[in-house]
Chains A and B, each alone.
Chain A
Amino acid sequence: GAGVSQSPSNKVTEKGKDVELRCDPISGHTALYWYRQSLGQGLEFLIYFQGNSAPDKSGLPSDRFSAERTGGSVSTLTIQRTQQEDSAVYLCASSPTGVTLNFGNGTRLTVT
């Protein structure tokens, strides 16, 4: 069956540009998470959506980062005015219950 799909798989952008990263969760999964992983590091929590509840944005590193989840399905992570330190793999995960997560393979973002 279809898993979590993320696009693009790779993105190279110039410093100062805005980028949008897309996540298509598994159908019917009400919970959706965004994490990022810098080279050789563990996963850093960014944001969590659960149904119609207000998202947990406590992990967003700055106000340049924002995320939306439309219709309880697709989610978009937007990074404005990208900086070199934003370079990382951005991972999306969905879950039917928020207990066990299904991850996508991520978007590798490189800011030059």
Chain B
Amino acid sequence: DAKTTQPNSMESNEEEPVHLPCNHSTISGTDYIHWYRQLPSQGPEYVIHGLTSNVNNRMASLAIAEDRKSSTLILHRATLRDAAVYYCILVLTGGGNKLTFGTGTQLKVEL
């Protein structure tokens, strides 16, 4: 399985943008890039996914490098509720396979 690499932790101030990086240098052409986040004492929740083009939704934006070897999850204005562990994972086109989660990035948001 292609693997992803993320920093263990990051800090941000409330109301500021946050850029969470992910490296996936061995990504294949059929892998989608997915992001999930896990708030304390909850199961992970889906955030966003993309293949080649940048993507936006109500929760976040996903910027994908032209060579697809890295991506960045962008939270435009961090709030205290965004403090969570963020996971970047690769998903085979069409799904139907086990999703391999790493240890993710612990995002801390301060006032």
Residues of A within 8 A of B (CB): 4, 31, 33, 35, 41-43, 45, 48, 50, 56, 58-59, 91, 93, 95, 97-106
Contacts and interface: CB of A to CB of B under 8 A. Distances in A.
Interface stretch (B60-68, B70-78, B87-95): B87-95
Nearest to B85: A42
A59 B87 contact: no
A45 B95 contact: no
B41 A98 contact: no
B46 A31 contact: no
Interface of B: 32, 34, 36, 41-46, 49, 87, 91, 94-104
A45 B98 contact: yes
B43 A56 contact: no
A97 B43 CA distance: 19
Given A101-B44, A103-B45, 14 more contacts: A35-B101, A42-B87, A45-B98, A45-B99, A50-B96, A56-B98, A91-B44, A95-B95, A97-B96, A99-B49, A99-B95, A100-B49, A104-B43, A105-B43
Given A42-B104, A100-B46, A105-B42, A48 B98 contact: yes
Contacts of A99: 32, 49, 91, 94-95
A42 B102 contact: yes
B98 A102 contact: no
A31 B43 contact: no
A44 to B, nearest CB: 8
A98 B44 contact: no
Contact of B34 (A42, A100, A106): A100
8 contacts: A35-B101, A42-B101, A42-B102, A43-B87, A91-B43, A98-B95, A101-B99, A103-B43
